[in-house]
């Protein structure tokens, strides 16, 4: 009995689809093999998976899945300290190679990736690719963010402390709170205060007025600082209002994102390790208090070793950036960790691979703040050398001093008389760190609960 026409048609279409699929797969495989043989032979000797050698697609997929850093970490575990991750891109996981890439000797330029961070048609310090251009622009704001400028001005500490107490007001009633949102708002309040000054920091309608007439602000503000440089007779025209706006935008974005991520993971880790909360609280309670009931930043910064140890461990486990700090190999090529990498190759150092190096950090996957307290000074120096959450070399983050003050004052305010408790709304899946530029938690929240310590004797 002959098959019905519709069955014959279905069978024909199925066979055609299968043949077409097989043909496409065959063509792709042939292309991949030819690309591998005839492609960038100069990188053929670099270890790495074959599919990363012939196409950018695998790396793009890793980024779409927000898993770039994790997968590159796995590749380093398999292939070693130098691994090819795309046809013209190499990742390194070696401290000496990292120093070579980001140091001041060879002056490696940034890649085209940083074109994405232009604002108002101008390149901020972060978006400037040539080393020399970056060095010149860095001079504009380096003095503004130096420790002696941030730590010695009482109005900055007073403002940050007032914002940390405002966060405490949000959590002291014991209700569920999203630490990621709270700490991000906290960071935004602080950086806008520093960028625009106290009269414009949180008043959106006045932001453009601050840019148009920054001389209205007579305090330590970035806008005023840049305006004075613009008015300087030695200015060659490189500082104009669009450049100032680009620099301001970049500073606000970086400060808000990095503080929010680091503070969130610090709180998350404390809920998982209450014994470290107790240690921090005991050390804080031993410090003299100011009129607002909080210790001074100087004391918190130098006399609370448990807080410092926990913060370093959070920096290690959860660096607040994707690690995509791409550089271009200079003319003539360079040898990195024993592997020659030709000129113009895009190279990046895997911060995660350095921070999870089992030869430097025992049990690298575990939260162990004691590693920063125990052992000899020489052993701790080795740990510290490979910890690079703020970058390395001539392009290290300018906001390190400000970030340290923000984080430590916030932590002291929250944990002096309170403890943080875990909730069912937050778990390992939601807190998985994404390999996005700002390395945010996958769930974009961290729901916890704070409770005041009832037994004040535990604070003594």
Question: CA 275, CA 341: separation in Å to the nearest integer?
Answer: 47
Is 30 a domain residue?
A: no
Is 36 a domain residue?
A: no
pLDDT at 200 over 80: no
pLDDT of residue 139: 87
Q: Which tokens go with 305?
A: 């070793």
pTM of the model: 0.88
Among 63-67, 103-107, 136-140, top mean pLDDT goes to: 63-67
The tens digit of pLDDT for each residue in 286-328 reads 999 998 888 999 999 999 999 999 999 999 999 988 778 999 9
Residues 336 and 72 sit within 8 Å (Cβ to Cβ): no
- Please choose, from the candidates 199, 174, 202, 210, the residue with its C-alpha nearest in 3D space to the C-alpha of residue 186: 202
Is 314 a domain residue?
A: yes
Q: Report the range of poorest mean pLDDT among 3-7, 18-22, 138-142.
A: 3-7
What is the arithmetic mean of pLDDT over 153-168? Answer: 95
Question: CA 190, CA 252: separation in Å to the nearest integer?
Answer: 9
Residues 6+ apart with CB under 8 A from 235: 229
Neighbours of 264 (CB within 10 A): 27
Question: CA 423, CA 449: separation in Å to the nearest integer?
Answer: 7
Q: Report the range of poorest mean pLDDT among 32-36, 85-89, 298-302, 311-315.
A: 32-36
pLDDT at 49 over 60: yes
- The answer to whether 397 is annotated as binding is yes
pLDDT of residue 457: 40
Domain containing 394 equals 120-321+368-459
Is 363 a domain residue?
A: no
Is 181 a domain residue?
A: yes
Exposure of 361 in the CB half-sphere (CA atoms within 13 A): 25
The tens digit of pLDDT for each residue in 384-401 reads 999 999 888 777 889 999
Q: Report the range of poorest mean pLDDT among 15-24, 201-210, 412-421.
A: 201-210
Is 34 a domain residue?
A: no
Higher pLDDT, 213 or 230: 230
Is 340 a domain residue?
A: no
pLDDT at 187 over 90: yes
Is 341 a domain residue?
A: no
pLDDT of residue 455: 46
Q: Residue 420: what are its φ and ψ, rounded to 5°? A: -100, 140
Q: Which tokens go with 5?
A: 């026409």
Q: How confident is the model at residue 422 (pLDDT cuts 50, 70, 90)?
A: very high
Handedness of CA 13, 19, 25, 27 (dihedral sign): negative
pLDDT of residue 228: 87
Q: Mean pLDDT across the chain, nearest whole number? A: 88
Backbone torsion region of residue 447, taken as left when φ is above 0, otherwise alpha when ψ lies between -120 and 50, otherwise beta: beta
pLDDT at 239 over 80: yes
Q: Which tokens go with 270?
A: 């404390």
Distances (CA, A) of 390 to 82, 354, 394: 22, 13, 11
pLDDT at 27 over 80: no
Q: Report the range of poorest mean pLDDT among 85-99, 158-172, 218-232, 378-392.
A: 218-232
> Exposed e or buried b for every residue in 275-312, given b needs 16+ CB within 10 A?
ebbebbbebbbebeeeeeebbbbebbbebbebbbbbbb
pLDDT at 11 over 70: no
Provide the CATH number for the domain around residue 134.
1.10.630.10
Number of domains in the chain: 1
pLDDT at 135 over 80: yes
Higher pLDDT, 31 or 152: 152
Residues 62 and 73 sit within 8 Å (Cβ to Cβ): no
Q: Is 332 helix (H, G, I), strand (E, B) or coil?
A: coil
pLDDT at 233 over 60: no
pLDDT of residue 375: 84
Question: CA 183, CA 407: separation in Å to the nearest integer?
Answer: 9
């Amino acid at each position: 009995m002959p098959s019905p026409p519709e069955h014959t048609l279905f069978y024909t279409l199925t066979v055609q689809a299968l043949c077409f699929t097989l043909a496409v797969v065959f063509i792709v495989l042939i292309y991949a093999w030819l690309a591998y043989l005839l492609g960038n032979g100069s990188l053929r000797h670099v270890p790495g998976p074959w599919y990363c050698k012939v196409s950018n697609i695998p790396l793009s997929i890793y980024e779409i899945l927000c898993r770039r850093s994790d997968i590159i970490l796995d590749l380093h575990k398999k292939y070693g300290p130098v691994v090819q991750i795309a046809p013209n891109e190499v990742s390194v996981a070696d401290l000496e190679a990292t120093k070579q890439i980001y140091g001041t000797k060879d002056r490696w330029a940034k890649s085209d990736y940083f074109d994405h961070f232009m604002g108002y048609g101008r390149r901020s310090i972060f978006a400037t690719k040539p080393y020399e251009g970056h060095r010149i622009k860095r001079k504009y704001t380096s003095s503004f963010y130096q420790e002696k400028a941030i730590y010695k001005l009482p109005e900055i500490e007073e403002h940050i402390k007032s914002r940390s107490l405002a966060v405490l007001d949000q959590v002291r009633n014991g209700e569920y709170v999203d630490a990621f949102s709270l700490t991000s708002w906290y960071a935004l309040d602080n950086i806008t205060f520093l960028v625009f000054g106290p009269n414009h920091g949180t008043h959106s309608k006045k932001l453009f007025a601050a840019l148009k007439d920054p001389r209205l602000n007579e305090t330590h503000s970035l806008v005023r600082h840049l305006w004075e440089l613009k008015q300087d007779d030695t200015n060659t025209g490189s500082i104009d209002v669009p450049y100032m706006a680009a620099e301001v935008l970049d500073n606000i974005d970086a400060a808000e994102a990095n503080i929010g991520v680091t503070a969130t993971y610090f709180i998350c880790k404390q809920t998982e390790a209450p014994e470290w909360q107790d240690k921090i609280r005991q050390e804080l309670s031993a410090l003299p208090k100011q009129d607002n009931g909080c210790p001074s930043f100087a004391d918190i910064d130098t006399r609370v070793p448990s807080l410092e140890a926990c913060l370093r461990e959070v920096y290690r486990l959860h660096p607040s950036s994707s690690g995509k700090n791409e550089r271009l190999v200079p003319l003539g090529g360079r040898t990195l960790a024993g592997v020659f990498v030709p000129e113009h190759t895009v190279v990046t150092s895997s911060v995660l691979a350095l921070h999870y190096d089992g030869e430097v950090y025992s049990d690298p996957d575990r939260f162990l703040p004691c590693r920063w307290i125990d052992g000899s000074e020489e052993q701790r120096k080795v740990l510290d050398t490979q910890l690079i959450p703020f970058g390395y070399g001539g392009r290290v983050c300018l906001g390190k001093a400000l970030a340290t003050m923000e984080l430590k004052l916030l932590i002291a305010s929250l944990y002096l008389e309170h403890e943080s408790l875990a909730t069912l709304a937050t778990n390992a899946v939601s807190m998985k760190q994404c390999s996005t530029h700002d390395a945010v938690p996958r769930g974009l929240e961290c729901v916890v609960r704070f409770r005041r310590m009832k037994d004040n004797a535990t604070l003594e």
